[in-house]
């Protein structure tokens, strides 16, 4: 992700950090709290850049310091990540040792501990001492997606900064900048607010297959050239492999159905499956708005009950028969 986008991605957080820096009111420990995929880590690095940048427009992304932080090679910026899902005491001891080394350059020192909720008790004790007696010009940034699992003593020694979920547009841009096609980025950004989750979905080996299945279903509804039940019977085995895939299938079906409704009410701007306009148009012309909404309600109902279904197959058949009905 482009670092110059952090400000746009988490505007409130960056504003808060900028104001504190300007007023010389920085806290020596921050706890960045927010869902997975809200750019907590990237924002922590961005904060380090704000502190160490030697350029004019801080952080300039061009100076030696900004570039080294971005490449994770600045000696004043330490990052600790859980090893096998745990942050251990040795990692905190190593951190303290690193801080006393001479290879550190003048200026602020920043340590970032990711997924701080995974810290074990003895590591937490060492860290607490470190947090209580901070070295001058030393800043800690702890990140967590699950503040409820954190020791209250850690929370009370840090300033908690809440990260909001990303908006759709940011997720979409981020995906397409990472090399995913525009249409795929658009679809996936409608499935999740989390960039981490979005990448997981886009990389899921079955995702494209499920996407095609959904497109085919609406294509069959539009052309009425074959039986949707028979087609589904032959091509849907993949979605029963795992509830996650089944959920993905229904979510995509719902997005497509909403597209048809949006087309019907002339809200073209919000259509996700933009390359399916012909099919969307055909179905929208054929069905009334009320019927489309009823169908959508059935899909949403099915999605909410998905985990309790014993006979998922039958539930899908019923749903699809309803969509096909002339």
Contacts with Zn ion by CB under 5 A lie at 53, 55, 59-60, 63, 66
Query: How many residues make up the chain in this entry?
Result: 326
Helix axes 11-22, 40-52, angle to 10 degrees: 30
Nearer to Zn ion, 68 or 258 (CB): 68
Give the 3-state secondary structure of residue 207: helix
**Contact between residue 49 and residue 70 where contact means Cβ atoms under 8 Å apart:** yes
Q: Of 66 and 213, which CB lies nearer to Zn ion in the complex structure?
A: 66
User: Residue 180: how many CA atoms within 13 Å on its side-chain side?
Assistant: 23
Task: Give the nearer residue to Zn ion in terms of CB position, either 26 or 63.
Answer: 63
3-class SS of residue 141 = strand
Between CA 120 and CA 86 the distance in angstroms is 7
Q: Quote the CA–CA distance of 272 and 6 in Å, as a whole number.
A: 25
Q: What is the smallest separation between the CB atom of 178 and Zn ion, expressed in angstroms?
A: 24
Report in angstroms how near the CB of residue 54 gets to Zn ion at its nearest: 6
Q: Are 192 and 38 in contact (CB under 8 A)?
A: no
Cβ proximity to Zn ion: between 54 and 181 the closer is 54
Edge-to-edge strand list for the sheet holding 159-162: 77-80, 109-113, 138-144, 29-33, 159-162
Provide the minimum distance between the beta carbon of 139 and Zn ion in the complex, in angstroms, as a whole number: 17
- Output 54 or 167, the one with its CB closest to Zn ion: 54
Closest separation between CB of residue 172 and Zn ion, Å? Answer: 28
Return the number of the residue (48 or 302) whose C-beta is nearest Zn ion: 48
Shortest distance in whole angstroms from residue 46 CB to Zn ion:
11
Token pair belonging to 80:
């600790």
- What gap in Å lies between CA 195 and CA 169, rounded to an integer? 11
Q: How far is the CB of 84 from Zn ion (least distance, A)?
A: 35
């Amino acid at each position: 992700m482009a670092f110059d986008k952090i400000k746009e991605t988490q505007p409130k957080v960056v504003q808060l950090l900028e104001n504190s820096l300007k007023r010389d009111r920085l806290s020596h420990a921050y706890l960045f709290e927010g869902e997975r995929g809200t750019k907590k880590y990237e924002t922590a690095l961005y904060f380090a850049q704000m502190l160490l940048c030697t350029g004019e427009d801080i952080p300039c992304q061009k100076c030696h310091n900004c570039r080294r932080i971005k490449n994770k090679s600045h000696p004043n910026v330490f990052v600790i990540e859980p090893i096998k899902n745990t942050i251990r005491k040795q990692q905190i001891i190593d951190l303290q040792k690193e801080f006393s080394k001479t290879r550190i350059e003048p200026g602020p020192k920043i340590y970032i501990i990711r997924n701080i909720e995974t810290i074990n008790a003895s590591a937490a004790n060492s860290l607490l001492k470190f947090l209580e007696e901070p070295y001058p010009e030393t800043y800690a940034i702890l990140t967590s997606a699950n503040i409820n699992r954190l020791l209250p003593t850690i929370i009370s020694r840090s300033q908690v900064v809440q990260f909001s979920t990303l908006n759709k547009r940011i997720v979409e841009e981020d995906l397409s900048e990472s090399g995913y096609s525009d249409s795929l980025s658009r679809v996936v950004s409608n499935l999740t607010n989390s960039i981490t989750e979005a990448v997981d979905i886009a990389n899921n080996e079955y995702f494209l297959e499920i996407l095609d299945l959904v497109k085919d279903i609406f294509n069959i509804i539009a052309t009425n050239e074959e039986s949707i039940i028979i087609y589904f019977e032959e091509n849907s085995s993949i979605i029963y492999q795992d509830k996650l895939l089944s959920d993905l299938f229904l979510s995509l079906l719902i997005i497509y159905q909403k597209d048809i409704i949006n087309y019907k009410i002339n809200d073209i701007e919000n259509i996700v499956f933009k390359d399916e306009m012909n099919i969307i148009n055909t179905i929208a012309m054929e069905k009334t708005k009320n019927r489309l909404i009823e169908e959508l309600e059935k899909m949403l109902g099915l999605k909410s009950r998905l985990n309790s279904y014993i006979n998922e197959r039958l539930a899908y058949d019923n749903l699809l028969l309803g969509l096909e009905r002339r």
